[in-house]
Amino acid sequence: MTASAHLPLGTHLLADLSGVDAAPLRDCAALESLLRQAAIEAGAQVLHGHFHSFGAEAGVTGVLLLAESHISIHTWPEAGFAAVDIFMCGAARPQVALDIISTALAARHRALHTARRAPPGQAIAG
């Protein structure tokens, strides 16, 4: 048995948030702060974060690497759109993180797809 942090069983939420005001989708520092808060509230451990602004009027692309996998966000302020991924293994609660992000961005529409990530059979000894 080896020492990966969690079993290879995870939930991956793909959330397409739309009807979002442009300003918060341009604010690189605020988005990083929001995702870090969401990760912590979800019970995840942040290993690394990097957020990149494409320019003062443009979007942001950013990611947090977690011991439980990752959270990413890619924003298009001109379209009021953000693509958010929350992939968490272990006991962390991805839906908690998504609710925090979605509420903070005041998204008027949310299209959510949930994927279960695991090897075939899923019954893997840790």
Active site residue 6: no
Q: Determine which residue in the list 21, 45, 52, 103 makes contact with a second copy, applying CB under 8 A.
A: 52
Name the pairing type of β-strands 69-76 and 81-89: antiparallel
94 binds a second copy (CB under 8 A): no
56 DSSP assignment: T
- Residue 69 tokens read as 């996998």
- Residue 52 tokens read as 């990149």
Strands (E), 1-45: 10-18
Q: How far is the CB of 72 from a second copy (least distance, A)?
A: 5
Total chain residues near a second copy (CB under 8 A)? 52
Q: How far is the CB of 47 from a second copy (least distance, A)?
A: 5
Enzyme catalytic residues: 69, 74, 89
